[in-house]
Amino acid sequence: MQGRVTGVVVVALALGACDGQRLAATDDLGGDDLSAANLCPDDQPDTCPSPAPSWQHQVAALIQTHCASCHSPNGEAFDHLLETYAEVYSQRGLVLDQVNACNMPPGDAGLPMPETDRKTIVTWFVCGAPNN
């Protein structure tokens, strides 16, 4: 029964996310913490804008700021290194999915990623993740 109630809470929160704001989901019924189910806007662009975001001038710094502390040899997620273009590019599908769904960086990683930074990274992936 609790799974059904949690599902209803998640659906209700999803419907409330239509204004484009991230919502921190919580379960007021004393069940599991739903903070991992943060809802974010479905704003992945269908096409690449012109000009495309630049790895060298934008994206590399964002990855360094928001990802590399955990996704480095000394980080918690050392099995998914994200320090170089080649490492990010080789995992582009996974990284896109996680950033687009607002799963990364996780809520307990410190400050949340600003929406503009998330959009830049997602758009760069949609543009084919060029090494520009």
pLDDT digits (tens, 9 = 90+) for 101-128: 999 999 888 888 999 999 999 999 999 9
Whole-model pTM above 0.75? no
Preceding peptide of 105 cis, ω within 30°: yes
Q: Quick one: average pLDDT of 18-45? A: 47
Instruction: Say what the pLDDT of residue 21 is.
Output: 34
